[in-house]
Structures are given as structure tokens and as C-alpha cells.
Amino acid sequence: MAAKKSLIIYRRLLQYSRPYVGRIAIAVAASLVVAGTDVTSVKLIQPLVDKIIAVGNVSLLKLVPMIIVGLAAMKGIARYLQEYLIKTAGQLVVQDIRNDIYSHSLKLSMGYFSRHASGNLISRILNDVGIMQRSAADILVDGIRESFTLVGLIGLAFYNDWKLAAIAFLALPVAVIPASIIGRKIKNNTRRGQAAMGSLTSVLQETLSGIKVVKSFGMEEFESQRFRRENLAFYRFLRKVIKYDSLATPIVELLGSLGVAMVFWYGLHRVFSGAITQGELFSFMAAVIMTYTPLKRLTKVVNRIQRSVGAAERVFEVMDEEPDIVEAPDGAAGFFLQGVPGGNGGPGGAQRGGKNNDYQPVESLL
């Protein structure tokens, strides 16, 4: 159920990215270039060791500096394009979401503002959308680039030696289990933490807007203690998010070290037996070791996604709120009340899009 709800959130966020699909497509193409340069660098280790260092080929040695600089220049240009385009796309998406939630909140009925503290709504528009805005750039940049790099390096490892690759990545599926558990914990605590931040913002808004009353009755110490309690509640949830986020990388590194250790043991035996060359082993080991860097970054990206989803759920809750008073359907005069008997959506009333247009005019209730 939780996974299905998260999927719905993802789809709603993707709908906001449609106006910027052009710059996202260019950024994805640039990400492929960045990943390609990383994979190419690893692949060139084998000829560097076997055909240049081992045999002392001076003529080919002259090409090494040009290749290194050329790959670095290509990667730098592609990385700039990818980061600039994808970050601006992410910020534009979140800007549209902030505009929509603000516009929608102005259309809500007074009943909504009576049931919910205004500080909580302010927190959703500023803090929750702020989390989405900070996460959007990192998620899009690291998520796309590191995914391509990871796929390329794993593919190169299997291309070089599928037996060694199978041993090296044997522990990777095991890492999915703790990663998914940690991700759920982060999302839940982020959502609860943002709710605590909403309460904190409400206390701040109420105190400052009623500062004359606070000072008139000497309530400064009471309000200070009230703020401290809400602030401590927010910290406790934030501490849990930090705790679970900090667990992700050590788990990946521990599982990854098992694969690297087995590759060293088995790979050196294959070199001694003449099955593979030293260059092939070094190229393979570089691919395996470099694989865990994008893997660790992707683990962090997943955690940031969970934080962003936790905040997005609270944002879309407001955007899904319907006003209590809406215009009558089919151009009828007056307005009608949602959930009122005889009104649209109420017991005995017409459903939206139905043929029965009975409604209860507001004027008759005044």
C-alpha cells in the first residue's frame, strides 16, 4: 500500500516535468557522455598495462597525455551541461508546485482555515516544498548520471570476465533489503518531522501575531517553553532521519568489501595460472572498485527521494483539498455546499458529472 502511494506521488511529480522535457532530454544525453568517459577510462587501463608499461612501448606512451586531457575535457563539458540543465529543470518543477499550492490554498473555504492552523499551511508551502526543491537537483543530477555510470561499469566488468563479475557483484542483491528498509524509515520520519515543523511554525506565527497579548499577560516564559518543546520534537524526528541516512553507506561498503576480497583472491589465482593478464585484472578491479562509488551515491539518492516523497505527500494533501463552497454545476445560479444534504456530493445530491443537478443554494441557508 505504501509503495503504491509513493508511485502515485512519483507520477504526479513527473507530470510537472513535462513542460521541461526538452532540457531534461539534453541533460540525459550529457549524462551518457559522462558515464561513457568513466567507462572508457577504466577500459583503457588494460592496454596501458599490457601494451605500454609491460613491453615499454614509447611510441604509444606519447598518446597517453592527450587521451587523458581529451577525456577530461569531454567529461567536463558534458557534466556542466547535465548539471545546469537538470538542476534548472528541477527548480522550475518545484517552482510550479509552489505556485499551484499557493493558488489552490487561496481558493479553499474558510472552514479549512478554521480546521488547520495557518502556520501549518505556511510550513507546507515553504518548508515541505523547500525540501522538495533542495532534493530535486540532487536527485535528478546524481540519479541520472550515477545510474548510467553504474550500468556502464557493471557491463564492462561482465564483458571483461563474467566469472569474476559474478563473484564481485554477488553481494549487491543483498544490499537491496537493508536499503529498502532504511528508505521507508527515512520517509516516515521525514513526514512526521515536517508535521512537527508545521506545529513549530504555528507556534511562531501565533506568538508573533499576538505579541501584544503575550506581553500584556506576561506569557513570554510560557511561550518560550512551548517553542522549545516543539523544536525538540522536530529535532528528534530529524535525528532519526540522520541516523538511518548515515547507516546506508557503511552497509554498502561492508557488502562491497566482501565482493572485492573474493575478486582479489580468485583473480590473482587466474593471473598466476595464465588465464588472464595483469592488465585485464587491473582493468577489471578498477571497474569493480569504481562501481561502488555510484552505488553509494545512488543509495544516498534513494534516501533523498524518500525525504522528498514524505514532503510531497503533505504538499499534495493540501492540493487535493476541495473547497466547501463551489459554483453550481451547468451554469445554475448561486453556489452549493460540498457534503451538505441536497448539495453536490452530499447524501441525496448529485455527484460531479452526474445527470442530477439538484443543489442547495447558499442563499437558502442564510
Query: Three-class SS of residue 72?
Result: helix
Question: DSSP character for 333?
Answer: S
Alpha carbon 102 to chain centroid distance?
22
* Count of structural domains, the chain: 1
**Which amino acid is it at 220?**
E
Residue 141 is predicted with a pLDDT of 73
**Inside any domain, residue 358:** no
Residue 2 has which C-alpha cell?
A: 505504501
Q: For 133-184, what is each residue's pLDDT tens digit? A: 666 666 767 788 888 888 888 888 888 888 888 887 776 777 777 877 888 8
Distance, in Å, from the CA atom of 268 to the CA atom of 266, rounded to the nearest integer, reads 6
**Inside any domain, residue 346:** no
Q: For 45-98, what is each residue's pLDDT tens digit? A: 888 888 877 777 777 777 888 888 999 999 999 999 988 988 888 888 888 988
Query: Three-class SS of residue 117?
Result: coil
Distances (CA, A) of 26 to 101, 137, 236, 248: 29, 15, 41, 31
Query: Looking at the predicted structure, is the pLDDT value of residue 345 above 60?
Result: no
Residues 6+ apart with CB under 8 A from 183: 302, 303, 305, 306
Q: What is the CATH number of the domain that holds 92?
A: 1.20.1560.10
Nearest Cα neighbor of 281 from 270, 293, 291 is 270
Distance, in Å, from the CA atom of 141 to the CA atom of 83, rounded to the nearest integer, reads 6
Phi-psi region of 345 (alpha: psi -120 to 50; beta: other; left: phi over 0): left
Distance, in Å, from the CA atom of 86 to the CA atom of 23, rounded to the nearest integer, reads 7
**Inside any domain, residue 178:** yes
Q: For 20-43, what is each residue's pLDDT tens digit? A: 888 888 988 998 899 889 888 888
Count other Cβ atoms within 10 Å, centred on residue 164: 24
DSSP alpha helix (H) spans, 273-349: 278-319
Residue 366 is predicted with a pLDDT of 41
Count other Cβ atoms within 10 Å, centred on residue 171: 17
* Mean of pLDDT over the chain: 80
Distance, in Å, from the CA atom of 144 to the CA atom of 275, rounded to the nearest integer, reads 36
Mean pLDDT score, 358-363: 46
Q: For 205-220, what is each residue's pLDDT tens digit? A: 888 888 888 888 888 9
Residue with cell 506569557: 219
Residue with the bigger pLDDT between 281 and 331: it is 281
Distance, in Å, from the CA atom of 249 to the CA atom of 300, rounded to the nearest integer, reads 8
Count other Cβ atoms within 10 Å, centred on residue 261: 12
User: Can you give the residue range of the structural domain that contains 71?
Assistant: 10-322
Residue 74 is predicted with a pLDDT of 94
Mean pLDDT score, 183-187: 85
- Return the sign of the alpha-carbon dihedral for residues 305, 303, 34, 151: negative
| Neighbouring-strand partners of residue 326 | 336
DSSP alpha helix (H) spans, 124-219: 129-160, 162-168, 172-209, 211-216
**Inside any domain, residue 337:** no
